Structure 1
Amino acid sequence: MVAMKWWRRNALALAALALLIPGAVVVIGGQEWITYYGFRPISPIDVREGESADFAGATFGPARVSDGTATQRERIPNGARILVAEIPVQPGAESPGCTVTLRETTGQRRHWEVQPNALDRTGHVSCTTENSGRYVVEAPFLVPADATGPFAIELVVAGQQPRFLRLIAP
């Protein structure tokens, strides 16, 4: 009998808790989800082989990947090779900065980060905000010898996430 009175006396507070606890979970979880996925490159804009694309105020492409192993054989470990991603960039009013990643589009779908000291070249290994004219990004990647492609070059521009540009390269 005493227990029934307690439930009646606290019914309004219990109903409020039944609504507020799931609401708090949704609000906090939603904020975490937005923070986690809103600033990660998870939504690619695919560009077919041999084509260019306008993205973040600049035109990128057409991209290509070449093998730079022959010129750097003494600097490369056994079982590896150097692939060079070449991306022409034509900045618009402002030149966007970007990071470049090389990814296998089939098989193991591995990806590699730029190795800026892998080549004896003085060029751009990523997009630069200091250029107003056309330039070519030459990004070297140290990859295993069994990486055969096809490859895609992924360009992530700060402030454009979750979107990023994925250029399919021959």
Structure 2
Amino acid sequence: MGMHRQPRRADVTTVELIGGPERLEVGLRDDHERWAGTYREHRERIRNALTGADVAIEHIGSTSVPGLAAKPIVDIVVAVDDITAEEDYLDALLAAGYELRVREPGHRLVRTPARDVHVHVYGRGDPAVQEYILLRDRLRSDADDRALYESTKRDLLATRWDDMNDYADAKTEVIVAIKARARAARPPASM
């Protein structure tokens, strides 16, 4: 993965939400062939935008799990060398057609104008990236947790959410439990 560089400057300390709260008005769909294609297309767009940079790109979230109904938003995580060095990645992503939505400590979110692709940018080695992948891999491999997660989302989406972030927070408890089972199921690390 390359050497982890020290950030060049202090990161932002506040959460900047560009555009304010947005109501969640999308239902769940099951469209994995299309989502996989969308991910591959945007992985190439991101690679081309960040040409020369050593970045890791992964499809995360429910659209990355075959057989799991999901909101039709493809989530992609990108790990960059230095999250504080926005000039190394942010301008290029904006030039590639993404719009900045969130700037907060350790994380930037850019998305398509249609809001159907969210690109989460973190610094390389950020534990959040491993957490996303842990959840994704568990949901891909465990049918019971996949069914639990989907039923939880269906129950929550029966409620009206004026702020998409409140919906995300409401899912946290079941996500924490699923990740705990994923960790327990992993073979112990060999020395």
* Structure with greater helix share of residues: 2
* Structure 1 and Structure 2 fold alike (TM over 0.5): no
TM-score range, shorter chain: under 0.3
Give the TM-score, by structure 2 length: 0.22
Give the TM-score, by structure 1 length: 0.24
Greater RCO (Cα-Cα under 8 Å, separation 6 or more): 1
* Structure with greater strand share of residues: 1
